[in-house]
């Protein structure tokens, strides 16, 4: 990727999106950062000393996507070199305790929003033979119980990435994903709050049935060591600089271990996962 490339990042208000926007702006690129609130735009301007252009961007609204792209093309004379699809929401919850409203919101942002922004940007990216980097998750590779909706959404992103990578190869557009495990960002606190709110909406019987899963993810969010953000930034640098980027960059030791579990026979893998979840459940 040449110096001064134009880059659009969705979901840049916090976490990985914010860190990537600041990182790429420091490298001298022209960064357009999608945010949903004015206060997030002001934070970006202040922290980047004006080197980042914040854009009001709701990936679930067609008019918002159109306006954001118009702002990008106006400032770049119609050029876009890189799209980073980062916007996403997360929570852990068994499917039976996941409301249709929460499921729709998650799918609208993580899946339909990613598809919509990508579709809108493809004409520009074909023109520059640019790149698409989808921020996925190890949950797009490894299916864990208690994350059913999130796993489904990230598997969809990984599927889109794999198919689009082939569609775009004849046009010179590089497509890849970055699949982190637990990264040191506020998303886990947000996810824990959402998960707690969802579980409290249900009867004591359901909470009792799924208590091992609910407790497991509370421990995971609060106790498991997170991979530093620098590891994600390093993966992004590789994805953007490589002449032939990998299809997927898995980030974090635990994420890589989970990916390796997919090589095991299904029955063995399932037994290992269930053992980890039930290890702290008192025996009768």
Q: How confident is the model at residue 173 (pLDDT cuts 50, 70, 90)?
A: very high
Determine, yes or no, domain membership for 148.
yes
Reference 218, options 89, 88, 93; nearest CA is: 93
- Given a contact cutoff of 8 angstroms between Cβ atoms, the answer to whether 138 and 182 are in contact is no
Print the domain residue range for 48. 6-278
Is residue 165 pLDDT above 60, yes or no? yes
**Residue 249 belongs to some domain of the structure:** yes
Whether this model's pTM surpasses 0.75: yes
Identify the CATH number of the domain in which residue 105 sits: 3.40.50.720
Distance (Å, whole) CA 50 – CA 54: 9
pLDDT digits (tens, 9 = 90+) for 225-242: 789 999 999 999 999 999
Q: What is the Cα–Cα distance from 147 to 217, expressed in whole angstroms?
A: 9
Q: How many domains does the chain have?
A: 1
Beta strand ranges found along 89-161 (DSSP E)? 131-135
CB 159 within 8 A of CB 201: no
pLDDT digits (tens, 9 = 90+) for 4-29: 899 999 999 999 999 999 999 999 99
Instruction: State residue 283's pLDDT score.
Output: 47
Domain membership flag for residue 1: no
Mean per-residue pLDDT for 47-56? 92
101 found inside a domain: yes
Residue 181 belongs to a domain: yes
Residue 217 catalytic?
Answer: no
Q: What backbone phi and psi angles, to 5 degrees, belong to 249? A: -110, 110
Examine residue 151 and state whether it is found in any structural domain, yes or no. yes
Q: DSSP letter string over 222-274?
A: HHSPPBPHHHHHHHHHHHHH-SS--SEEEESHHHHHHHHHTTS-HHHHHHHHH
Handedness of CA 43, 48, 54, 59 (dihedral sign): negative
284 located within any domain: no
């Amino acid at each position: 990727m040449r110096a001064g490339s134009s880059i659009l990042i969705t979901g840049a208000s916090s976490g990985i999106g914010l860190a990537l926007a600041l990182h790429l702006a420091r490298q001298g690129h022209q960064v357009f950062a999608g945010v949903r609130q004015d206060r997030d735009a002001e934070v970006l301007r202040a922290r980047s000393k004006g080197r980042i252009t914040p854009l009001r961007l709701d990936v679930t609204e067609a008019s918002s996507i159109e306006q954001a792209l118009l702002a990008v093309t106006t400032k770049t004379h119609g050029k876009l070199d890189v799209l980073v699809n980062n916007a996403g929401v997360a929570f852990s919850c068994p499917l039976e305790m996941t409301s249709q409203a929460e499921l729709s919101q998650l799918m609208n942002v993580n899946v339909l929003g990613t598809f919509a922004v990508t579709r809108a940007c493809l004409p520009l990216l074909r023109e520059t033979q640019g790149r698409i980097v989808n921020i996925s998750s190890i949950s797009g590779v490894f299916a864990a119980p208690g994350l059913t909706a999130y796993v489904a959404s990230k598997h969809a992103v990984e599927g889109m990435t794999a198919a689009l990578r082939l569609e775009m190869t004849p046009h010179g557009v590089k497509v890849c994903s970055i699949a982190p495990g637990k990264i040191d960002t506020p998303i886990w606190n947000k996810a824990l709050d959402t998960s707690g709110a969802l579980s409290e909406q249900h009867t004591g019987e359901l909470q009792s049935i799924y208590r091992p899963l609910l407790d497991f993810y509370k421990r995971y969010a609060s106790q498991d060591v997170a991979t530093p953000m620098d590891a994600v930034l390093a993966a992004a640098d590789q994805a953007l600089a490589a002449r032939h980027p990998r299809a997927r960059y898995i980030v974090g030791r635990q994420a890589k271990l989970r990916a390796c579990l997919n090589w095991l026979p299904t029955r063995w893998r399932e037994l290992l996962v269930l053992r980890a979840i039930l290890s702290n459940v008192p025996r009768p």
